[in-house]
Amino acid sequence: MRKTGLLVLMIAFAAVSCKKSPVEDLSILVDEPYYLTIPEGFTNPDIPEDNQLTKLRVELGKKLFFDKNLSVDGSISCGSCHLQEFAFSDGRAKSIGVDGRPGRRNSPVLFNLAWHDRLMADGGVPSIELQVMVPLHDELEMASNILDVSAVLNENEEYRNLAMAAYNRDVDPFVITRAIAAYERTLVSGNSRYDQFLAGNLNALSTSEKAGMDLFFSDRTSCSSCHGGFLLADNEYHNIGLSESYEDAGRELITLDGNDNGKFKTPTLRNIALTAPYMHDGSVESLEEVLDHFISGGFNHPVKDDRIRNLDITSVEKQSIIDFLGALTDIEFIENEEFRPRP
């Protein structure tokens, strides 16, 4: 019996001898699940099997998100163009990459991404994980290479240990994309005064904001036909007549279908008052100008959405809609210290 046991041990050793040996000293890093706080009215998000949320994964992702080593010259991090005070956009028409290079599009907000079907204004990327590589490789943004970044970060013992504890592997493209995505999934915003109103606090909105809300959700404006649901966005792509001819073809770049020319993903209106300038190219400076665009019906374009049409509303009604949009700001979200890098 004793000899049989010895043989079993030997065979087991043979079976595992082709595998990498695990890092041994991880005694200080014990991982545990991270539970998202889902706001009332939100659904449970789908989270990939290979990237279920844990505290160490989120911690590693946050560390990576604010690490300038992700850019080719160490000058910018993800957090350089996604600032919490702007609901993780950057307040510029177009972001500034390494060497002061202007980007192609307006920096998108980063919150409630767990509920998005696809990422990027043109929907070119199917997951948050894969989206991580876009700015990292874009010559106008970080101009880097995720393999080089992996090599640099693997020189750092803290990163190595975190990666091993969180994902049981060295820092590599899999770990970098998963960890940043894990952190970004925790950026949940759903406690604006509008949400508080929906939860039963009828005093959360002013009279003007309530009037704006009613207009927003009315057939007169059709705003909510695209900006509806708990995301205040429909995960779809629309041409809103921003121009007669689009320099940036938008969704057409991905589908190669001319019927998608000038279509961009509907942005969420949550925290919209914090995220000027607006539109995919940052060409509209204020919410008032955004309203002016939709009231005018925009420019003619062969594939413009039918719902973009001249609206017959008064200046008072317009102001009430702007007031309502202001009530979509989630102060708790932009002040949440959990989302910030550790000192």
Partner 1 sequence: MKRAIYFVIAVTLILTSCKKKKQTEEDGIVNINMSAYFDSEAFAVGNVYTNVDGYRVRVDDFKFYISELAAIRNDGVLIPLIDIDLINLGSGYSTSSFELAPGNYRGIQFSIGVPPELNKDQDPTVYPNDHPLSVNGAQGMFWSWNTGYIFVKFEGKADLDGVEGNEILSPFAFHCGEDLLFRTHVIDNYAFTVSEEIATPIDIRFNVEKFFYSDNDTIDIAVNNLTHTSGNLPLAERFTDLFNLAIELE
Binding residues (CB under 8 A) for partner 1: these are 3, 6-7, 10-11, 13-15, 17-18, 50, 120, 122, 124-127, 129-130, 133-134, 136-138, 146-147, 172-174, 177, 249, 253-254, 256
* φ, ψ for residue 33, nearest 5 deg: -60, 150
Least separation in angstroms between CB 124 and partner 1: 4
Give Cβ neighbours of residue 36 (< 8 Å, ≥ 6 apart): 45, 53, 114, 185, 186, 188
Least separation in angstroms between CB 9 and partner 1: 9
Burial 197-230 (b: 16+ CB within 10 A, else e): bbeeeeebbeebbbbbbebbbeeebbbbebbbeb
Name the 3-class secondary structure at 151. helix
Least separation in angstroms between CB 51 and partner 1: 11
Least separation in angstroms between CB 289 and partner 1: 28
What are the start-end ranges of the H helices in the chain? 2-16, 55-65, 78-81, 128-131, 133-137, 146-154, 157-167, 173-185, 193-198, 207-216, 223-226, 252-255, 287-296, 315-326, 331-335
Q: Give 74 or 126: the residue with its C-beta nearer to partner 1.
A: 126
Residue 89's beta-bridge partner residues?
A: 83
N-term to C-term CA, the chain: 58
Least separation in angstroms between CB 53 and partner 1: 18
| Alpha-carbon torsion (168, 173, 175, 178), positive or negative | negative
Q: Give 124 or 297: the residue with its C-beta nearer to partner 1.
A: 124
Q: Give 124 or 229: the residue with its C-beta nearer to partner 1.
A: 124
Least separation in angstroms between CB 260 and partner 1: 11
Q: Give 98 or 146: the residue with its C-beta nearer to partner 1.
A: 146
Q: Rg for the chain (alpha carbons), in Å?
A: 23
Q: Give 5 or 343: the residue with its C-beta nearer to partner 1.
A: 5
- d(C-alpha 265, C-alpha 122), whole Å: 6
Q: Give 8 or 331: the residue with its C-beta nearer to partner 1.
A: 8
Least separation in angstroms between CB 149 and partner 1: 11
- State the DSSP code for 271: T
Q: Give 3 or 342: the residue with its C-beta nearer to partner 1.
A: 3
- d(C-alpha 52, C-alpha 167), whole Å: 10
